[in-house]
Amino acid sequence: MAMLFTRGDDPRAAVEEAAKQEGIEIDDWREPTTDDDQLGEQAAQFRPRFLQAVLVHPTKDERAAFRMRKRIQATTEGTYVASCSFRTVVYKGLVAADTLGDFWLDLKDDRFDAPFVVFHQRFSTNTTPTWARAQPFRTLCHNGEINALAGNVNRMRARAHLGTEEVGLGAEEIFHPIIHPADSDSGQLDSMVELLVRGGRDIRHAVAMLIPEAWEGARDLDPEVRGFYRYHASLMEPWDGPAGVIFTDGVGVGAALDRNGLRPLRYAVCEDGLVVCCSEAGAVDVSGHGLVERGRLGPGQMLFVDPSRGVLRDAQCKERLAAAAPYARWAADGLRKLNPGRPVEDPDGAETLETRQAGFGYTKEELAMVLRPMANDAKDPTFAMGDDAPLPNLALRPRPMHHFLRQRFAQVTNPPIDHLRERLVMSLRTLLGPRKPILTETPEAARLLTLKSFFIYPSTVVDLMESEAHGFGCARLDATFPVEDGPEGLRKAVHQLCDEAEQHAREGSGIIVIDDGGISRTRAAIPALLATGAVHHRLVSQGLRMNTSLVVQADDARDSHYIACLLGYGADAICPGLALETVASEADANEDSELVGPEAQARLQAAMEDGVLKVMSKMGISTVDSYRGAQIFEAIGLGHEVVDTCFTGTPSVIGGIGWQELGEDALKRHAEGRLVDAGYYRARKRGEYHTHNDDVVKSLNEFKAAHLLQRALKDGRDELYDQFADLVNGRPPTEPRDLLELVPAGDP
């Protein structure tokens, strides 16, 4: 049965042609009877036409039905295929839960029979409710939110080769795009499950790939099950976020929870064979069905019911999945551990180091207030709340690139994670190397390098460049540009960098190193964030991103926010070489401290890793694999041309500076020569302007004291207030509102 929601032109001719191409016969067309009195005003206004096609096929091939659906979507407009299967049919709509059966009169027919049913009533939080977005979808219903959705979608866009032909599913072009941007996050998750199942995997297998349990830190996990997860992590990053999922392939039905268990799922198994699984206990009355076993799913657990074989608990499900192929052996043989490297032993001398620091935009303030606390305490420094400095595009001094990007965070129904107390469910595990198509199951898919973290030292970058032991090529990109080219040279160099990366990826380089360390008197640095984002998005657009990993040697990366930005825009591994040299040099030069260079670098690493975990946790993301490429930022003060090239898809509401201004800033930093106290974090006389500077605070306090005295004397003079107002109103622009001018509306 194919269930269609249609608008506009009659799709039946296109549907019949799609069926014919797959050897499927349409035996009959029908319009299911509905009671539209059950609809609300909005639902009735946007109600589509409902059509059902009765399908006949010699083998009732679900793959043929899947291909038929993809062909319908490619050849029709205004038609949504709610289901197309020989096993399942979807009845859903914009109706209240208790009226669904009254709206679809088929559901009240005594001849309508099914061994199980999947039902979900939801309240839309992130998307506008529509008939197509109502749940359930074709394989599942989902209560929760996919926090890393942008990264997951970008990764799927980057997967030009899915492996459909190798597994006998059909030509690749039929199935692209797998994910439609108009779908909700739940609908996109459903599309992924459907692809994996039609590609030959059991539906439990597909769900375990997309929503794995927190296997990385689980000490008592069965080794074979751990091997299953290790292997599949090389194929698919987690679709991370709160998730209670009910899923079915038409043969059995199951339930699964996310790795954090952030949505409830309770079940009851009755003596007579009735099994109920709901988000709330008591949603279905089980009285009269004999003895009842009640329970609830824990984090990462799964329950599956096969009407012919009974109930399978979590351990049984996972053991069967792990036994389907020698995944543990494939993972053990293929995955090779890569050491993060050795601490920098001989940092540059103070004068040379300062010149390099100035060239990458370091300031005395950052050394004292950011890097030094991180090297001493192994955690991010603590600042007062609020940032009263101008936005980067309004600042008096050139700002580092990461200041133009602001983090977004979990809101409303989306709980953050406590990265300190819930560290067990979080992971920084990183894989390097070319990835295989997601539909394949071969030992070669696990032939990758594995790191405990994204953080690596310069020695590891050198090893990657010089050693062929990993079995795939490594190319280096020079992320600098000639000073003589002027500001325009930055844009030209970024585009050239993208061209070189594309060429290396096509030639088979499994790792590309983006290195900004080649600065000199004649060459200025391309900000690593611009270079990484531009290369990442170029490779995504060309379908080459999964062919290579991006290692970024970023001498301008010196705090956790910069590291998070690099990860968010595609970096696989990061080496903040100059920051490591800086803390090592300071530790060795400080005779009053017992801290030595290697220990200072280890603490800097710990601080940056902890900072990234904290950033991820604010968005409710548990694994760096899910966070990588997720772009959970908003651009503040960047022009659309820059955003389109380097940060594609990132919101930039007000626009801002472009390549010319960024090029000028890069050259100013390059010409600086010596460290300055820029005053980014605190007000300094020759530093960045702050709205709450000493003069403003002093004036406000004087006015407050005088105002209290005037109230006592009942004298209405406001000279001090005028002085305070002049300071505030006459300040340099720091926010967009400072550039607004109120225009009188005139007479009504």
Contacts of 692 (CB under 8 A, 6+ apart): 388, 683
pLDDT, tens digit, for every residue of 93-122? 999 888 999 999 999 999 999 999 999 987
Give Rg (Cα) of the chain: 30
Q: Which amino acid is at 683?
A: A
Q: Is 174 exposed, middle or buried (0-12, 13-18, 19+ CB in 10 A)?
A: middle
With respect to residue 713, please indicate whether it lies within any of the assigned structural domains. Answer: yes
With respect to residue 648, please indicate whether it lies within any of the assigned structural domains. Answer: no
pLDDT at 705: 63
Give the residue with greater pLDDT, 665 vs 733: 665
Tokens (6 digits) for 305: 């019911």
pLDDT, tens digit, for every residue of 613-632? 999 998 889 999 999 999 99
**Domain match, 497 and 613 both:** yes
**Domain termination site, one of 113, 147, 181:** 113
CB 365 within 8 A of CB 678: yes
What's CA 636's distance to the chain center, in Å? 19
With respect to residue 673, please indicate whether it lies within any of the assigned structural domains. Answer: no
With respect to residue 678, please indicate whether it lies within any of the assigned structural domains. Answer: no
The yes-or-no verdict on residue 709 having pLDDT over 70 is no
pLDDT, tens digit, for every residue of 309-347? 889 999 999 999 999 999 999 999 999 999 999 999 877
Q: Is 543 exposed, middle or buried (0-12, 13-18, 19+ CB in 10 A)?
A: middle
With respect to residue 665, please indicate whether it lies within any of the assigned structural domains. Answer: no
**Domain match, 373 and 493 both:** yes
Domain range for residue 134?
114-334
Distance CA(744)–CA(748), nearest Å, equals 11
- Segment 522-544 mean pLDDT: 96
The yes-or-no verdict on residue 225 having pLDDT over 60 is yes
> Model-level pTM?
0.92
pLDDT at 267: 95
CB 334 within 8 A of CB 444: yes
- 713 pLDDT band (50/70/90 cuts)? very low
**Total domain count, the chain:** 4
Closest Cα to residue 434, out of 330, 546, 544, 531? Answer: 546
Beta bridge partners of 337: 450
**Domain match, 119 and 157 both:** yes
Q: Which amino acid is at 252?
A: G
Cα dihedral 79→204→255→306 (10° resolution) = 100
Closest Cα to residue 130, out of 76, 84, 92? Answer: 92
**Domain termination site, one of 271, 299, 334:** 334
Q: CA separation (Å) from 263 to 348, 560, 601, 685?
A: 52, 30, 40, 52
Kindly provide the residue ranges of all beta strands, DSSP E only, lying in 591-641, ordered along the sequence. Answer: 633-635, 637-638
**Domain match, 438 and 474 both:** yes
| Helix or strand holding residue 298 (H, E) | none
CB 407 within 8 A of CB 424: no
Give the residue with greater pLDDT, 140 vs 717: 140
Across the chain, mean pLDDT equals: 91
- 520 pLDDT band (50/70/90 cuts)? very high
Closest Cα to residue 196, out of 228, 156, 223, 158? Answer: 156
**Domain match, 141 and 105 both:** no
The yes-or-no verdict on residue 690 having pLDDT over 50 is yes
pLDDT, tens digit, for every residue of 549-561? 999 999 999 999 9
**Domain match, 109 and 239 both:** no
- Ranked by mean pLDDT, the top range of 94-98, 527-531, 681-685 is 527-531
CB 242 within 8 A of CB 263: yes
Lowest mean pLDDT among 117-131, 205-219, 326-340, 450-464: 117-131
What's CA 314's distance to the chain center, in Å? 28
The yes-or-no verdict on residue 270 having pLDDT over 90 is yes
Distance CA(165)–CA(19), nearest Å, equals 20
- 181 pLDDT band (50/70/90 cuts)? confident
Distance CA(473)–CA(547), nearest Å, equals 11
- 408 pLDDT band (50/70/90 cuts)? confident
With respect to residue 638, please indicate whether it lies within any of the assigned structural domains. Answer: no
- 720 pLDDT band (50/70/90 cuts)? low
Tokens (6 digits) for 673: 């020569």
- 692 pLDDT band (50/70/90 cuts)? confident
pLDDT at 716: 53
**Domain match, 297 and 421 both:** no
Q: Which residue has the tokens 């995997």?
A: 201
CB 525 within 8 A of CB 532: no
- 715 pLDDT band (50/70/90 cuts)? low
Distance CA(443)–CA(50), nearest Å, equals 46
* Phi, psi dihedrals of residue 261, rounded to the nearest 5°: 65, 40
Contacts of 510 (CB under 8 A, 6+ apart): 432, 433, 434, 470, 471, 472, 473, 474, 547, 548, 549
**Domain match, 469 and 426 both:** yes
Closest Cα to residue 304, out of 283, 291, 281, 321? Answer: 321
CB 261 within 8 A of CB 424: no
pLDDT, tens digit, for every residue of 17-45? 999 999 999 999 999 999 999 999 999 99
Pairing relationship of beta strands 275-278 and 266-270 according to DSSP bridges: antiparallel
Distance CA(733)–CA(546), nearest Å, equals 44
CB 524 within 8 A of CB 670: yes
CB 264 within 8 A of CB 296: yes
Distance CA(211)–CA(140), nearest Å, equals 13
Which CATH number do you get for residue 119? 3.60.20.10
pLDDT at 390: 79
Distance CA(564)–CA(128), nearest Å, equals 30
- 712 pLDDT band (50/70/90 cuts)? very low
What's CA 618's distance to the chain center, in Å? 13
Q: Which residue has the tokens 């004649």?
A: 522
pLDDT, tens digit, for every residue of 627-653? 999 999 999 999 999 999 999 999 998
pLDDT at 468: 66
Dihedral over Cα of 452, 454, 457, 461: its sign: positive
pLDDT at 695: 75
Tokens (6 digits) for 559: 């705090």
* Phi, psi dihedrals of residue 741, rounded to the nearest 5°: -125, 125
Contacts of 688 (CB under 8 A, 6+ apart): 389, 390, 395, 396, 397, 678, 679, 680
Q: Which residue has the tokens 């709901």?
A: 278
Tokens (6 digits) for 683: 């007000």
Beta bridge partners of 638: 657
pLDDT at 710: 56
Lowest mean pLDDT among 207-216, 311-320, 377-386: 377-386
Lowest mean pLDDT among 378-392, 590-604, 607-621: 378-392
Q: CA separation (Å) from 659 to 205, 254, 527, 644, 668?
A: 47, 52, 12, 12, 14
- The full length of the chain comes to 748
Helices assigned H by DSSP within 211-257: 223-233
Tokens (6 digits) for 410: 């979990």
Which CATH number do you get for residue 11? 3.30.70.60
- Segment 520-531 mean pLDDT: 96
The yes-or-no verdict on residue 83 having pLDDT over 90 is yes
| Helix or strand holding residue 307 (H, E) | none
**Domain match, 108 and 130 both:** no
Closest Cα to residue 306, out of 291, 298, 296, 316? Answer: 316
Dihedral over Cα of 579, 583, 589, 590: its sign: positive
The yes-or-no verdict on residue 481 having pLDDT over 80 is yes
**Domain termination site, one of 113, 132, 150:** 113
Distance CA(267)–CA(312), nearest Å, equals 13
* Phi, psi dihedrals of residue 51, rounded to the nearest 5°: -130, 140
Which CATH number do you get for residue 477? 3.20.20.70
**Domain match, 42 and 16 both:** yes
CB 635 within 8 A of CB 650: yes
**Domain match, 249 and 368 both:** no
Contacts of 677 (CB under 8 A, 6+ apart): 363, 364, 365, 684, 686, 687
Within 10 Å of residue 100's Cβ, how many Cβ atoms?
17
CB 523 within 8 A of CB 490: no
**Domain match, 595 and 533 both:** yes
With respect to residue 680, please indicate whether it lies within any of the assigned structural domains. Answer: no
With respect to residue 677, please indicate whether it lies within any of the assigned structural domains. Answer: no
